[in-house]
Structure 1
Amino acid sequence: MDGPLTRIRPMALADCERVSEIRVRGWQHAYRGLIPETYLAGLDVAADAERRRARFAGGTGSVGNLVAERAGEILGWAAYGPYRDGGPASGDAELYAIYLDPRHVGGGIGRALLTEAVARCAAYPRMRLWVLKGNTRARRFYERAGFRPDGAEEPFEAGGVPVPELRYVKELRG
């Protein structure tokens, strides 16, 4: 064995600050060149943590939050739950987010988080996710895990600029 094992566990309220740091630094690392730099530079860890604590404390339990921990340090975070399509419930699951401390990308932590999120959604027929069209590294990561683009594409706005996202899907049953 070449180091401490990665432990995947449910996120706790006390993890919000570190999860926000990972999310903000993850955006700034992964989306450089894909989202306007001014938008990325304006992301604020403290404000994100405040929003995260409020959502976490007032949550209904429909959103699952996982953290990846190694030797007591949180290195990654994933969130999943029912698919949010804006219409009637589709009955599918969605991976809302998965981010890693940029220093630990490529070390199997993302794979461990994704595997656990998928396992916790096994009762759903499918899992969907949205990924930036230009994020080829993330797209390869999801494709290696069995996700495929389903043809849906939508932009979201970041700093006044539309950024295209693709929807991916993985069959979880049958």
Structure 2
Amino acid sequence: MTTRVRKMTEADCAAVAEVRVEGWRSAYRGLLPAAYLAAMDVGEDAEARREHLARAGERVVHLVAERAGKVVGWAAFGPDRSPDAGPGDGELYALYVRPEVVGTGAGRALMDEVVARAVARGCARLSLWVLEGNAPGRRFYAKAGFAPDGAREPWEVGGTEVVELRYARRL
């Protein structure tokens, strides 16, 4: 099935919130507290997506992947927020697809578009943070040319501390 990637609009916020919440619940099951994942609310997340989209302006790029007119994925990237970031470094803030389309190319289509748009913006490097225990995510990013750069950060979520690893790729 053909995946179309386009810029996200405000009309996509509810669908993106579903993708994000479903994506978290699937990708982070067993890594983050079950109660935290269960408490995620699509309506609240949709409002947060609207606020993020309105605040982002042109600085942050939000993209959606569609199949047959249905939003099946979402990605967002912009300037690297790390203290050691160089000028022109970009960061992939998020990339999620609906669990039922994992492994079908929707995530790859989003990643390809993120990389193309980052290059068009003049980014020389793109980084992202991934949970250390997220083996499928780490494999996906490795296949896309990313590798750990040695940076590790603890992250507290729902009363549990997990470790994030930074992956990076030269563009």
Gaps spanning 5+ residues in structure 2: where? Answer: none
Pair 1:83 & 2:69 matched? no
Moved more, 154-163 or 127-136: 154-163
Aligned positions, number: 168
**1:89 CA drift (Å):** 5.4
Match for residue 10 of structure 2? 13
What TM-score, normalized to structure 1? 0.93
Match for residue 112 of structure 2? 115
Does the CA contact (< 8 Å) of 2:62 and 2:77 recur in 1?
A: yes
What TM-score, normalized to structure 2? 0.95
Amino-acid identity (%)? 55
**Higher percent of residues as helix:** 2
Report the aligned-residue RMSD.
1.1
- Provide the secondary structure at the position in 2 that maps to 1:32: coil
CA distance in 2, matches of 1:117, 1:50: 24
Pair 1:29 & 2:26 matched? yes
Match for residue 56 of structure 2? 59
Match for residue 162 of structure 1? 161
Pair 1:48 & 2:15 matched? no
Change (3 A) 1:89 1:169: closer
**1:57 CA drift (Å):** 2.1
**1:125 CA drift (Å):** 1.1
**1:68 CA drift (Å):** 0.4
Match for residue 96 of structure 1? 93
AA aligned opposite 1:90: G
